[in-house]
Amino acid sequence: MANRHRPRGTWSDRLATLLFSCIALGITTLFLGILVKIVWNGAAQIDIDYLLSAPQDAGRAGGIGSILVSTGLILAVCLAVSVPLGLGSAMLLAELCLANGRFGCAVRGSLDLLAGVPSIVIGLFGNAFFCVTLGLGFSILSGGLTLSCMVLPILIRATEEGFRAVPDEIRLGGAALGLSRGAVLRRLLLPLALPGLLVGLVLGVGRALAETAALIFTSGYVDRMPSSLLDSGRSLSIHIYDLSMNVPGGDQRAYAAALMLIVSLVLINRIASWASRRALSQGIVNR
Give the pLDDT confidence score for residue 228 in this predicted structure.
Answer: 87
Q: What mean pLDDT is reported for the chain?
A: 84
Q: Give residues with Cβ within 8 angstroms of 221, minimum separation 6.
A: 232, 234, 238, 242
Where does the chain show beta strands of DSSP type E?
55-56, 61-62
Q: How far apart are CA 187 and CA 145, in angstroms?
A: 30
pTM comes to: 0.84
- Per cent of the chain over pLDDT 90 is 21
Domains of the chain, residue spans: 55-286
Q: What is the CATH number of domain 55-286?
A: 1.10.3720.10
Mean pLDDT of 147-158: 90
| Phi then psi dihedrals of residue 262, to 5 deg | -65, -45
- Per cent of the chain over pLDDT 70 is 93
Q: How far apart are CA 207 and CA 123, in angstroms?
A: 14
Q: Please give the biggest Cα pair distance in the chain.
A: 82
Mean pLDDT of 53-58: 85
Split at pLDDT 50, 70, 90, the class of 279 is: low
Give the pLDDT confidence score for residue 284 in this predicted structure.
Answer: 47
Inform me whether the pLDDT recorded for 25 exceeds 90.
yes
N-term to C-term CA, the chain:
57
Indicate the SS3 state at residue 55.
strand
Tens of pLDDT, residue by residue over 58-108, are 788 888 989 999 999 999 999 999 989 988 888 888 887 766 778 888 888
